[in-house]
Structure 1
Amino acid sequence: MGDYRLPISVKGVLLDASDRICLLKNERNQWELPGGRLERGESPEQALVREIREELGIQVLISHLLDTWIFEVLPGKEVLIVTYRCYWDGEGQIERSEEHEALEWFSLDDLKGIEFPDGYQKAVQKSLDR
């Protein structure tokens, strides 16, 4: 079977007071949750806090694990996605980094009309199931 290794990407479901989800548009013109690669020596939670600070300029609190799934980002290129529910303490201002093309807040209904992977959709749904 050989070595089967996957990069790990930690993503956050960040909702506002109206239960709208914060999404970023990547270089492949797809909407995604904020977050990114796990670096050596970091816990998934530490990676997510760091990535969101880099991408949105804010500090978040990590609540709980929502889901894990394998995503084929490009043909033959898979990534293990780990999603967490997270909360913003309201301090500072959300600002998109140069890493992404756009930042928008979407309602659950809005998600049906955009390019958004099923695995992310499932994590958002789980975060809203109270």
Structure 2
Amino acid sequence: MTDRILVVGAALYADGRLLAARRSAPAALAGRWELPGGKVEPGERPEQALVRELREELGVEAKILERVPGEWPLGRAGYVLRVWTAELISGEAHDVRPLEDHDQLRWLAPGELWDVDWLEHDRPAVAEAARLAQA
């Protein structure tokens, strides 16, 4: 039996726009878009991991708001994605820069959410986060 590995993602909002991050690695994922985040380390709560990952990947401080309903299997055995909505608490949206794993960022308005080529497992999470944002 494979151990479950939890990966957390952020539906990070600023000024009503959702942040999309384009993968630069690994080669199989490069050029596709995802919600920023990463693996939960042993002893870490998922929300703590998400704050840490946003700091490491984007150099920002974020406030975790609400868990997005659902859990999505990733392309590797045992890996699952959970997503939370979040908002910037330090800096401005135009100051956010990719630091690790990404080569481009885009802030997407509600009508632009499907203008990028999301990774398959991020699509239902983006749809559910968008539904929450409109509620």
Same fold (TM over 0.5): yes
Q: Once the two structures are superposed, what CA deviation does each residue of 1:1-57 show, in whole Å capped at 9, x if it has no partner?
A: xx243321111111111x211111112121111111000010000000000001111
Q: Which moved more, 1:100-109 or 1:41-50?
A: 100-109
1:78–1:32: structure 2 CA closer, same or farther, 3 Å change rule?
farther
Q: Which amino acid aligns with 1:23?
A: A
Q: Once the two structures are superposed, what CA deviation does each residue of 1:60-93 show, in whole Å capped at 9, x if it has no partner?
A: 11111112322333xx645211110111114374
Aligned residue number for residue 111 of structure 2? 109
Aligned residue number for residue 21 of structure 1? 18
Does the 8 A contact of 1:13 with 1:127 survive in 2? no
Q: TM-score, normalised by structure 2?
A: 0.81
Aligned residue number for residue 125 of structure 2? 120
User: What is the CA–CA distance in structure 2 between the aligned matches of 1:104 and 1:34, rounded to whole Å?
Assistant: 11
Does 1:67 pair with 2:64? no
Q: Which moved more, 1:111-120 or 1:51-60?
A: 111-120
Q: TM-score, normalised by structure 1?
A: 0.83
Aligned residue number for residue 10 of structure 1? 8
The 5 A counterparts of 1:83-98 are: 83-91=83-91, 93-98=95-100
Give RMSD over aligned pairs: 1.9
